[in-house]
Amino acid sequence: MSEGGMTVLDGTHLRSLQVSLPDSDVTLTGAQVLDFAESKASDSLFGLSLPQCLKSSALHRVNVDDDISFRRSELTREAATSKLNDYLTAIADELKDNPLVVSILDGNTLRLFLEDEDDFAMLAENIFTDLDTKDKGKISKGELRNALVHMGVEMGIPPFEEFPLLNDILKKHGAEGEEELGQSQFAELLQPILQEVADSLAQKHVAFIHNIKIVNGSKLRKLLTDEKQLNNVTEKILQEKRCKKDDQKNTEIIRGFLEQKGKELGLPPSEANEAVILLYDAVFADVESGKCAAESEDVFRDLVKEILEKFAEQLEANPVYCDLDN
């Protein structure tokens, strides 16, 4: 699933995966099973290195709480096959609840700049101006590294730590040292560097994970199906109601609680962005606002559940993206 140049990994790729263990008559260790599963999952997710938090959560789902002990254990082929499939399903389930937002860097964005002379000239000029902080009209060759950092993922350049080949490309083109370059010299050196980066990415794509949380109603749905958990939440909101003035509307009390504590329940943080404010307004506009405070606590409980269900529906239809870097 793609969204504005970014790709959302929600486990769909993994669910269609048909995987079987390599032929072997001997027992397999837990480590071999996990490594094989993670390798296959990574291959189907654009070569992405699976984040540790994703692997840990998936292992917890398949009742592997002690990773080290499991890795040392020996499994029959039948048990290994079962654990392999369970683990891949658990990774898919975890991605459904907590999707990853990635950019697949394949050189195409860079190629667009390189194919249009005017676009490239403007890009080079803007980067040069930004790096020439002292307005000398010159920058050192070593600044080419900062030029690539400056361009970043948005312009198709992976981080150096994700794509160490960038260091080799800079060195190959002599983009190091203190020798100074004017703007046109800078552009002449930048062009073949970007071309080689684009060619390298075309051969081996880099998947970059953005620090973005997608709230899609999945966690809220689980809460709504767990009667005990739902009752606990409703009781907390009821306690707030008992402390409020009798003339305060039920919907105001519920909204106030959710804006403060909703993140724990699976709602996006109320301060995240404009989309969240619109979400709250849409849900509460849709609920009968005339329910007065004098009604019974049973009616109030039903109202809480109705509001949470509307949030889940809205988030499922229109997930909210929260940038965790801001």
Domain map (residue ranges) of the chain: 6-98, 107-208, 216-323
> Residue 23's pLDDT band (boundaries 50, 70, 90)?
confident
Beta-carbon-side half-sphere exposure of residue 172 (alpha carbons within 13 Å): 12
pLDDT for position 286: 80
> What are the CA-CA distances from residue 96 to residues 54, 88, 90, 292 (Å)?
11, 12, 10, 38
Helix (H), strand (E) at residue 93 = helix 77-97
Q: How confident is the model over 221-231, as a mean pLDDT?
A: 95
pLDDT for position 325: 67
Mean pLDDT across the chain: 90
- Is 50 exceeded by the pLDDT of residue 4? no
Through-space distance between the first and last CA atoms of the chain, rounded to whole angstroms: 24
Distance CA 311, CA 316 (A): 8
Distance CA 156, CA 103 (A): 9
Whether the CB-CB separation of 75 and 27 falls below 8 Å is answered with yes
- Is 50 exceeded by the pLDDT of residue 2? no
pLDDT for position 25: 65
pLDDT for position 157: 95
> What are the CA-CA distances from residue 173 to residues 15, 108, 192 (Å)?
44, 21, 8
Burial class for 268, CB neighbours closer than 10 Å (0-12, 13-18, 19+):
buried
pLDDT for position 3: 41
Instruction: Tell me the fold of 107-208.
Output: Recoverin; domain 1 (1.10.238)
Counting every residue written for the chain, the total comes to 326
Strand partners, 8: 101
Tens-digit pLDDT profile for residues 135-161: 999 999 999 999 999 999 989 999 999
Cα pseudo-dihedral 162, 165, 166, 168, rounded to 10: 150
Cα pseudo-dihedral 12, 14, 17, 20, rounded to 10: -160
Q: Tell me the residue type at 229.
A: Q
Q: How confident is the model over 192-216, as a mean pLDDT?
A: 93
Distance CA 220, CA 294 (A): 28
Burial class for 57, CB neighbours closer than 10 Å (0-12, 13-18, 19+):
middle
pLDDT for position 119: 93
SS3 14: helix
Tens-digit pLDDT profile for residues 265-303: 999 988 767 889 999 999 998 886 545 555 688 888 999
Q: Tell me the residue type at 264.
A: E
Continuous H helices in 29-76: 30-44, 52-61, 67-72
Residue among 44, 43, 55 nearest 14 (CA): 44
Q: How confident is the model over 8-26, as a mean pLDDT?
A: 87
Q: How confident is the model over 66-89, as a mean pLDDT?
A: 94
pLDDT for position 272: 66
Residues 6+ apart with CB under 8 A from 240: 253, 256, 257
- Is 60 exceeded by the pLDDT of residue 74? yes
Burial class for 308, CB neighbours closer than 10 Å (0-12, 13-18, 19+):
buried
Distance CA 172, CA 144 (A): 12
Enter the pTM of the model: 0.76
Is the Cα dihedral 143, 144, 145, 148 positive or negative? positive
